[in-house]
Copies of this chain bind each other. A is one copy, B any other.
Amino acid sequence: MQTVGILGGGQLARMLALAGAPLGLRFLVVDSAIEACASQVAPLVRADWRDFDALADFARRIDVATFDFENVPAETAQWLAGRTRVFPNPGALAVSQDRLAEKLLFRDVGLGTPAFATVDSRADLEAAINTVGLPCVLKTRRLGYDGKGQRVLRSRADADSAWQLLGSSPLILEAFIPFTREVSVIGVRSRSGEFRHYPLTRNWHVDGILSVSLAPAPDATALEHAAIAHARAIAERLDYVGAFALELFDVDGQLLGNEIAPRVHNSGHWTIEGAVCSQFENHLRAVLDLPLGDTSARGVSVMLNWVGALPEAAAILREAGAHWHDYGKDSRAGRKVGHATVCADEDATLRLRLESVGQALGREWQVAPAIEALTQ
């Protein structure tokens, strides 16, 4: 019986542990928070990323380590890799932790990106605005997620306040992309190099946080081939092992790379019920060098994220084809506390189910974009 160690004890670790139990796996989670929600389903080592005594003990108790959280310090990942198998490898993690390295990789594999420039001083920022143009987005190169660590600049007058907020970190200025839609590919690559991908997923964000995913993305066949080729090239370039997300902008039929997430990803949560083998199970298969599972969609699915607090469960539980996921967390503004996935065999049925759920929850605003995309 093998034990998988997970760095970070949030909902991703929780869903990995739930997916791995039927494979006969055991789990051990490291998190500094006693209330880490994965600890409800797997044993917890309470430690921070610099507690090398605790991490040494953790390494001894596991067969392989992986991540719930991509911002584990690179040196911790590197240190751990000297003691146990770590997937994805620390180098791949480091690239995805740095928006500049990420963009250089995209270019290397022939994937376009929004115009960008690095910013390390106030003067750099002025020069970068000249290069990149307005509107644009100033972002920290590291530690950003869910819209944190970034600021939109609509005019030169916004530069001062953005600099004051973010100027203490290495930054990157990116062109603000008037995208047609946001899509992502969840890819998975195993230790022996087997590569699979889920169908392209369409995503909608609200306040920088994923709100809704629809999969397979409608009318995406023209994009899908290119998106998957890029995902595969990136995985091979990084010798990546595990599941990952490649987030892309579709700008009038042209794909631009936004970012990669070196882990199972929120835009792949629909795969639990909406695909034959979920991203969670496939991530575990990949890091254990087992054959990868079937990534085909079962019908069509919409994932609705619950941010801040859970709505009433009953409207989801009552709806055929709808599935509830409560992460066992306390409510807090901006925190992902759960999601629901609504599945159906056909678009028309899914639309009806989304209308019913949206109405019952008073969340018509949340289901509307997916309903519209399913109607076109």
A contact set with B: CB distance below 8 Å: 1, 14, 17-18, 21-24, 26, 40-41, 276-277, 285, 290-291, 293-294, 296, 298, 310, 313-314, 317-318, 320-321, 323-328, 338, 343
How many Å from the CB of A81 to the closest CB on chain B? Answer: 26
Q: Across the interface, do A320 and B291 meet the contact criterion of CB distance under 8 Å?
A: no
Whole-angstrom CA separation of A26 from B328 in the bound complex: 9
Q: Which of B21, B276, B320, B326 contacts A41 (CB 8 A)?
A: B21
Q: Across the interface, do B276 and A321 meet the contact criterion of CB distance under 8 Å?
A: yes
Q: How many copies does the complex hold?
A: 2
Query: Which chain B positions have C-beta within 8 A of A24?
Result: 310, 313, 324, 326-328, 338
With contacts A21-B18, A320-B276 known, is A314 near B290, CB below 8 A? yes
Q: Across the interface, do B294 and A313 meet the contact criterion of CB distance under 8 Å?
A: no
How many Å from the CB of A244 to the closest CB on chain B? Answer: 21
Whole-angstrom CA separation of A22 from B320 in the bound complex: 17
Q: Which residue of B lies closest to A328 (CB)?
A: B24
With contacts A26-B40, A40-B26, A325-B22 known, is A320 near B298, CB below 8 A? no
Q: Output the residue of A21, A291, A296, A310 with the most chain B CB within 10 A.
A: A21
How many Å from the CB of A6 to the closest CB on chain B? Answer: 15
Q: Output the residue of A1, A24, A296, A343 with the most chain B CB within 10 A.
A: A24
Query: Which chain B positions have C-beta within 8 A of A321?
Result: 276, 294
Query: Which chain B positions have C-beta within 8 A of A343?
Result: 276
With contacts A298-B298, A317-B285 known, is A326 near B293, CB below 8 A? no
Whole-angstrom CA separation of A328 from B296 in the bound complex: 28
Q: Which of B22, B317, B326, B328 contacts A326 (CB 8 A)?
A: B22
Whole-angstrom CA separation of A328 from B26 in the bound complex: 9
Q: Which residue of B lies closest to A315 (CB)?
A: B291
How many Å from the CB of A271 to the closest CB on chain B? Answer: 13
How many Å from the CB of A282 to the closest CB on chain B? Answer: 10
Query: Which chain B positions have C-beta within 8 A of A317?
Result: 285, 290-291, 293
Show 27 residue pairs from A and B whose CB-CB distance is below 8 angstroms, ordered by the A residue: A1-B328, A14-B21, A17-B41, A18-B18, A18-B21, A18-B22, A21-B40, A21-B328, A22-B323, A22-B325, A22-B326, A23-B324, A23-B326, A24-B310, A24-B313, A24-B327, A24-B328, A26-B328, A41-B41, A277-B323, A285-B317, A290-B313, A290-B314, A291-B317, A291-B318, A293-B317, A294-B321
Query: Which chain B positions have C-beta within 8 A of A296?
Result: 320
Query: Which chain B positions have C-beta within 8 A of A327?
Result: 24
Q: Which residue of B lies closest to A295 (CB)?
A: B320
Whole-angstrom CA separation of A323 from B22 in the bound complex: 9
Whole-angstrom CA separation of A292 from B291 in the bound complex: 35
Whole-angstrom CA separation of A277 from B324 in the bound complex: 11
How many Å from the CB of A373 to the closest CB on chain B? Answer: 23
Query: Which chain B positions have C-beta within 8 A of A314?
Result: 290-291
Q: Which residue of B lies closest to A292 (CB)?
A: B317
How many Å from the CB of A286 to the closest CB on chain B? Answer: 12
Whole-angstrom CA separation of A290 from B313 in the bound complex: 9
How many Å from the CB of A63 to the closest CB on chain B? Answer: 15
